[in-house]
């Protein structure tokens, strides 16, 4: 399970290092909780980013990683937690890609991306679920 989609470097212009078919996958989940209480658990979810599904299978050519944190009640560990983390992180990854797109387009971090630029560059910030 993972996402196929864009990857943008933090270089002012578009380069061959920017990808439209990168593969995002959860490669690590860390749990941290205070054992003296039963209340909350801090979760760190690490997505590794590869140029392609094949590179992920071979564990080669890692091009980036993102960490996301989530705090949940201990009793919330039910069902498919991995699927829940993908659902939680997908909009966060997309927002990060849009921030990088703003940078590449020379916009301020708070500027709206023009609709024409969103359409033209959709492959760079769209993520498709991959099972």
Neighbours of 2 (CB within 10 A): 22
pTM of the complete model: 0.87
Residue 109: domain span: 2-130
Contact 85, 72 (CB under 8 A): no
Give which of 30, 62, 71, 25 is closest to 47, Cα–Cα.
25
What is the tally of structural domains in the chain? 1
Strand partners, 43: 31, 70
Q: pLDDT digit of tens for each residue in the chain (131 aa)?
A: 899 999 999 888 999 999 999 999 999 999 888 777 768 889 999 999 999 999 999 999 999 999 999 988 888 777 678 888 999 999 999 999 999 999 999 999 888 999 999 999 999 999 999 87
Q: Smallest Cα–Cα separation from 85: which of 49, 45, 125, 56? A: 45
């Amino acid at each position: 399970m993972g996402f196929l989609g864009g990857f943008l470097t933090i270089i002012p212009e578009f380069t061959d290092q920017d990808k439209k078919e990168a593969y995002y996958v959860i490669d690590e989940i860390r749990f941290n909780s205070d054992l003296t209480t039963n209340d909350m658990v801090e979760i760190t979810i690490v997505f590794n980013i590869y140029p392609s599904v094949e590179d992920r299978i071979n564990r080669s050519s890692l091009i980036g990683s993102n960490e996301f944190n989530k705090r949940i009640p201990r009793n919330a560990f039910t069902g498919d937690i991995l699927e829940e983390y993908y659902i939680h992180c997908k909009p966060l990854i997309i927002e990060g890609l849009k921030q990088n797109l703003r940078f590449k387009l020379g916009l301020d971090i708070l500027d709206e991306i023009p609709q024409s630029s969103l359409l033209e560059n959709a492959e760079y910030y769209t993520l498709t679920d991959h099972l």
